[in-house]
Amino acid sequence: MHRRHFLKTLAATGATAAALPQIIRAQPATRAAANSRLAIGVIGAGGQGRNIMGQALASPLAQVVAVCDVDSKHAEIARDRVNTAYANNDCTVYRDHRELLARPDIDAVLIGSPDHWHALHAIHAARAGKHIFCEKPAATTLDESRAMINAVARAGVACQIGSMQRSWAEFQRAIALARGGYLGKITSVKVGLPAGATLPKNPDAPRPQPVPPELDYELWLGPAPYRPYFEQGTHYYWRHNFAFSGGRLTDWIGHHHDIAMLATGVENQLPVAIRNARATFIEGRALFNTAWTYNFDAHYANGTVINLCDKNRLGVTIEGEEGAIHVTRGRITHSTRALERVIIPPWKNPLARGVRGHMDNFIDCALHGGEPRCPVISSHAAVGAGILANAAFRSGRASLDIDLKTERAINAPDANAFLKKVYRAPWVFPA
């Protein structure tokens, strides 16, 4: 299919969801195995996008062939880095992700765009038959990540979410100790996440500013509600506005809470209830409105209760009747010397099997098949707890009971209003 015709079809975004699977047939997850290297395109080439791109550049089994960003400066920096790494000038730059996805020679994409774009980028990629590495959180609503799950399943592609702590030895050990019974019956689980927000030091601009020539601001907004351009509200800082993300909570919950869920056997599950929810919000900044401090208990169907709070010790603390551990990046602390000396048998550490690195695990699955270490359902569940908690905070409710079939709060229309997202025209939700 000619690229221009492909883009013309996609431009009618009201028909995108229905039309795309008919335009490009999704290929099975083993499709790239015949190639010597996985051909990769990067969608979103800002700081984190270039970070994960660097991991792909380090792999002898992959080759980055294209980069895409709505900011031409970001794209050019990424392109130059790719060309330097390969000592050539072969990397192509795109502004619109749909052009990149139209290339049949690209096997996989790395998605490092802002959170409000993750769902559409991933779903469009799945329907184009591309394997996907998507930064966490997978989406900003439960409906979006559920649509991602369905799109990936229908396409048969590999999809890894960037909750890379699953691939780190200290977290794998913590999970294996808890699930292997070495701590005895679990009595307390606490997750500590960062508080506050990293905001621009200067006061918010009093009025909208001219859009810089390198930025396609309309495409940067995409499906998000329109607001005039403010430099302070775009690159990086978008994460502290509910129109684009869920603040520090959803920025981090896909890391430490994901580990706590694995350790307690409730991975891939939404909580049945949110309790003791309380939060304060950013004040005095018109561009930013997410939680500044927060606390809540996530209750699960098997009786597990996980407390998440910015006042908890950063990382995951698990206490049992026979021992306790605390794990954070680069360190695991054991309550006793006996617990510290425990050697985990390989069969009790399933996450350690196969290729160690998170990106390497993704590349291996894309080339040879198999489920990546952090599938979309895992982000849907881990980040989903934060999405539900944010709905409780914003509606002023201390508790929510969750209907797991509808993935909505029971008898709480005020809270459910914050679980919905209406895409800005011409973009439509990919049902």
pLDDT digits 0-9 by tens, 300-338: 999 999 999 999 999 999 999 999 999 999 999 999 999
Instruction: Indicate the pairing of strand 131-134 with strand 159-161.
Output: parallel
Q: Which helix (H) or strand (E) element contains residue 323?
A: strand 323-328
Report CA 102 to chain centroid distance, whole Å: 24
Torsion-angle region of 139 (φ positive above 0: left; ψ -120 to 50: alpha; else: beta):
beta
Tell me the pTM: 0.92
> Each residue of 170-206: pLDDT tens digit?
999 999 999 999 999 999 999 999 999 999 999 999 9
Residue 305, both tokens: 């209760």
Residue 213, both tokens: 């020539």
Per DSSP, the residues of 129-198 read: T-EEEEPSSS-SSHHHHHHHHHHHHHHT--EEES-GGGGSHHHHHHHHHHHTTTT-SEEEEEEE---S--
Q: Nearest Cα to 308, choosing from 341, 352, 368, 264? A: 264
> Each residue of 116-140: pLDDT tens digit?
999 999 999 999 999 999 999 999 9
Domains and CATH numbers, the chain: 3-164 (3.40.50.720), 166-200+235-352+376-419 (3.30.360.10)
Question: For the chain, how many residues are written?
Answer: 431
**pLDDT of 346:** 85
Lowest mean pLDDT among 30-44, 312-326, 335-349, 398-412: 30-44
The reply to whether omega before 271 is within 30° of 0 (cis) is no
